[in-house]
């Protein structure tokens, strides 16, 4: 079975360390699996039920839902903004949760990971993302996670894929997500 994993990156910043971590996941995907970074989260309007009606759903939201629905699993990369996840990531989760109980996230294996400047690597934001994803219907892989502290210093001159420790840990996370997707597909 070929496993398709969609990566959502909660940072829109050019040169984002979370984007770089997602790029590393793309390169570290094991044989038989593909990780694809989904661009365009900045184009998705804030969730509003008034525009989430058949025939009126914005194209960027439709593209987001279709990409996630077609995936076998997700990797969600979250930086930490003021102790929580970025609005762009929460907005994507809101769009993906609808229709309630049957959204694109429904029963989809998801791992939340990321990096941040602080000493804990953004764990508060990642915990908030896990909570929101679980409520939205995803199958959150609670024990499959990675938080890399000190991103500004650690990745100042080194891409995460070239950091042996991060690459090994990230590779293990991707392999666990692939295994969860394969298990879900066989159930």
pLDDT digits (tens, 9 = 90+) for 101-156: 899 999 999 999 999 999 999 999 999 999 999 999 999 999 999 999 999 999 99
Q: Quote the CA–CA distance of 134 and 105 in Å, as a whole number.
A: 9
- Which DSSP letter does residue 29 get? P
Please determine, looking at this structure, whether the domain spanning 3-186 carries the CATH number 3.40.50.360. Answer: yes
User: What is the residue whose two structure tokens read 């969860």?
Assistant: 180
Residue ranges for the chain with pLDDT beneath 70: none
Helix intervals (H) in 15-58: 17-28
- Which DSSP letter does residue 30 get? P
For the chain, give the longest Cα–Cα distance.
48
Q: Quote the CA–CA distance of 17 and 117 in Å, as a whole number.
A: 10
């Amino acid at each position: 079975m070929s496993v398709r994993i969609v990566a959502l990156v909660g940072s829109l910043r050019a040169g984002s360390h979370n984007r770089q971590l997602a790029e590393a996941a793309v390169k570290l995907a094991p044989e038989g699996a593909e990780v694809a970074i989904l661009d365009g989260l900045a184009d998705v309007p804030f969730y509003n039920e008034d525009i989430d009606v058949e025939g009126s759903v914005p194209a960027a939201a439709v593209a987001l839902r279709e990409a996630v629905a077609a995936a076998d699993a997700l990797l969600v990369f979250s930086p930490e903004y003021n102790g929580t996840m970025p609005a762009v990531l929460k907005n994507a989760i809101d769009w993906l949760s609808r229709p309630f109980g049957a959204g694109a996230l429904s029963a989809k294996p998801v791992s939340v990971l990321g990096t941040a400047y602080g000493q804990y690597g953004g764990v508060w934001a990642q915990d908030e993302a896990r909570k929101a994803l679980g409520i939205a219907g995803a199958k959150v892989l609670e024990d499959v996670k990675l938080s890399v502290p000190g991103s500004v210093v650690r990745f100042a001159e080194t891409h995460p894929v070239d950091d042996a420790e991060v690459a090994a840990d990230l590779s293990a996370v991707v392999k666990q997500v692939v295994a969860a997707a394969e298990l879900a597909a066989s159930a």
